[in-house]
Amino acid sequence: MNRFLFFIPEQASSVAAQVDLFFYFMVAVSGFFSLLIAGLIVFFAFRYHETRVEAGRPAIDDREHATTHGHGQGAVMLEIVWTVIPFALAMVMFAWGTSLYFTLVRPPAGALQLYAVGKQWMWKFQHPEGVREINELHVPLGQDIRLTMSSEDVIHSFFVPAFRVKQDVVPGRYTQTWFHPTRTGTFHLFCAEYCGTQHSGMIGSVTVMEPRDYEAWLATGGGAAVPGQSLAQLGERLFNERACSTCHLPNGQGRGPSLVGVLGSTVKLEGGGTVKADESYVRESILNPMAKIVAGYVPQMPTFQGQLSEEQLLELIAYVRTLGAKDGGAAPPTVAAAKE
């Protein structure tokens, strides 16, 4: 960035340049209208200042009189002009802004799936390979990255200015965001939703690495302890430990419905109605099993409210995800898979 545009943060994601382009357009339009209005006011204020206009100047002729009164034909034309032109411009802004927004909220298929949990006042991240980080997030360059987020306490907001992404992290459900880093380096990570005393301390960094370096980093367990088990493996262990596996048999013959291929499918509910089985649905079904009963099953599952941490829930979901779709494939891509 040159020094006149010092306030444009680094463009480190695929959408950053698009957002900035739209921003320049907005600045140009607003700048034009601001200068137009300011210029007219200054011009009129001098041109028609009382020292330049005689008091009791000759009566204005009728046509002009009507115009300056704001209800002649010319005046109505003016009103129409300055209603229609701003309206048209507003609709252009709306359309542009909305199409940009759809880019921002739709993660591309096959994105690398990472998890984040916000709590007062730190960010916890989990990689599918099991590596955990606090307030630092390492991601590979040039890859779509999807972040599924929840909060343990109050509302937080995941904000990386260099990526131009922001998404509130809401307790009790999952929200998501995605980005595609285009530049290696370390970038600010902020919490953007006020969350209490150390709100301004809930900051961290996102480090974008060459994929090769990222893999090496993962292999050493993020430079920390021994590389642990993958998220899905941890989830599978929980699935057995908490005896989920005794009822949710893969063949659908158990007391609970089979979870094979459930994530992403549409589930029929008892008493009519369906629900799209996303991560929030799986989460709700674990914590509050009575809320939505799958058609043909008896509501008998105990609640796990207060017995599982947000991280454990994410592990379980990572495991359920590996149970795959009905076509049998589609385990979440890891770095290696996505690179191919």
Partner 1 sequence: MSEHVVPFKIYAVIFATLLLLTLVTVDVATYNFGMMNIYVALAVATTKATLVILYFMHVRYAPALVAVFAAAGFVWLLLLLTFALSDFLTRGWIVGFMG
Partner 2 sequence: MADHAQAEPHTLAPHQQHQFETMEQQQETSTLGMWAFLVTEVMFFGGLFGAYTVYRYLYPQAFSAASHHLNYIIGAINTGVLIGSSMTMALAVRAAQLGNRRSQVVFLLLTIVLGSTFLGIKVVEYHDKFVHHLVPGANFRFEGPRESQIFFSLYFAMTGMHAVHMIIGIGMLSTLTVLAWRGNFSSQYYTPVELGGLYWHFVDIVWIYLFPLLYLIRGG
Partner 3 sequence: MKTSHALAEDPGSAPQEFNYLNADYGVRSWLLTIDHKRIAILYLVMITIMFSIGGLFATALRIELLTPTGDFVQADTYNKLFTMHGVVMIFFFLIPSIPAVLGNFLLPLMLGARDLAFPRINLLSWYIYIVGAIFGTYAIIAGGVDTGWTFYTPYSTSSSQTQVIPTVLAGFIVGFSSILTGLNFIVTTHKMRAPGLTWFRLPLFVWAIYATSLIQMLATPVLAITLVLLLLERGLHIGIFDPNLGGDPVLFQHLFWFYSHPAVYIMILPGMGVISEIVTCFSRNQIFGYKFICFSSLGIAAIGFLVWGHHLFVSGQSVYAGVLFSLLSYLVAIPSAIKVFNWTATLYKGRISWQTPMLYVFGFIGLFTIGGLTGLFLAAIGLDVHLTDTYFVIAHFHYIMVGGAIMGYLGGLHYWWPKITGRLYPEFWAKIACAIIFLGFNLTFFPQFLLGYMGMPRRYHAYPPEFQVLNVMSTAGASILGIGYFLPIVYLIWSMRYGPKASSNPWNATGLEWQTPSPPPTHNFDRVPVVTQEAYDYPAMERNVG
Residue numbers at the binding site for partner 1 (CB under 8 A)? 105-111, 113, 146, 176, 178, 263-264, 272, 275-276, 278
CA distances from 12 to 66, 114, 324 (A): 57, 19, 33
Instruction: Work out whether 304 is an interface residue with partner 3 (CB under 8 A).
Output: no
Instruction: Work out whether 38 is an interface residue with partner 3 (CB under 8 A).
Output: yes
The token duo for 113 is 């799936």
Nearer to partner 3, 55 or 226 (CB): 55
Residues within window 221-280 making contact with partner 2, judged by CB under 8 A: 271
User: Rounded to the nearest whole angstrom, what is the least distance from the CB of residue 286 to partner 2 in the complex?
Assistant: 13
**Residue 250 interaction partner, one of partner 3, partner 2, partner 1, none, beta carbon < 5-8 Å per kind:** none
The stretch among 106-114, 126-134, 156-164, 290-298 that binds partner 2 (CB under 8 A) is: 290-298
Closest by CA position to 115, among listed 105, 103, 123, 104: 123
The CA distance from 9 to 65, in Å, is 52
The contact pattern for partner 3, residues 8-37, with x = CB under 8 A and - = no contact, is: xx---------x--xx--x--xx--xx--x
DSSP code of 222? Answer: T
DSSP code of 333? Answer: P
Instruction: Work out whether 62 is an interface residue with partner 3 (CB under 8 A).
Output: no
User: Rounded to the nearest whole angstrom, what is the least distance from the CB of residue 278 to partner 1 in the complex?
Assistant: 6
CA distances from 259 to 187, 280, 327 (A): 39, 15, 14
User: Rounded to the nearest whole angstrom, what is the least distance from the CB of residue 292 to partner 2 in the complex?
Assistant: 8
Find tokens 């011009």 and name the residue: 43
Nearer to partner 3, 59 or 109 (CB): 59
Instruction: Work out whether 58 is an interface residue with partner 3 (CB under 8 A).
Output: yes
Residues 6+ positions from 113 with CB-CB distance below 8 Å: 128, 146, 148, 318, 321, 332, 333
Asked whether the CA dihedral 278, 279, 280, 286 is positive or negative, the reply is: positive
# chain residues binding partner 2, by CB under 8 A: 8
The stretch among 37-45, 83-91, 130-138, 287-295 that binds partner 2 (CB under 8 A) is: 287-295
User: Rounded to the nearest whole angstrom, what is the least distance from the CB of residue 291 to partner 2 in the complex?
Assistant: 6
**Residue 309 interaction partner, one of partner 3, partner 1, partner 2, none, beta carbon < 5-8 Å per kind:** none
User: Rounded to the nearest whole angstrom, what is the least distance from the CB of residue 305 to partner 2 in the complex?
Assistant: 7
Instruction: Work out whether 34 is an interface residue with partner 2 (CB under 8 A).
Output: no
**Residue 83 interaction partner, one of partner 3, partner 1, partner 2, none, beta carbon < 5-8 Å per kind:** partner 3
Torsion angle, alpha carbons of 57, 61, 66, 69, to 10 = 0
Instruction: Work out whether 288 is an interface residue with partner 2 (CB under 8 A).
Output: yes
Nearer to partner 2, 243 or 291 (CB): 291
Instruction: Work out whether 306 is an interface residue with partner 2 (CB under 8 A).
Output: no
C-alpha angle 247-117-224 in degrees, rounded to nearest 5: 100
The stretch among 66-74, 216-224, 254-262, 285-293 that binds partner 2 (CB under 8 A) is: 285-293
Neighbours of 130 (CB within 10 A): 19
Closest by CA position to 195, among listed 169, 177, 160, 175: 169
Rg, the chain, Cα only: 28
Residues within window 87-146 making contact with partner 3, judged by CB under 8 A: 87, 90-91, 93-94, 96-105, 120
Neighbours of 113 (CB within 10 A): 24
Residues 6+ positions from 143 with CB-CB distance below 8 Å: 111, 112, 180, 181, 211, 335, 338, 339
Instruction: Work out whether 198 is an interface residue with partner 3 (CB under 8 A).
Output: yes
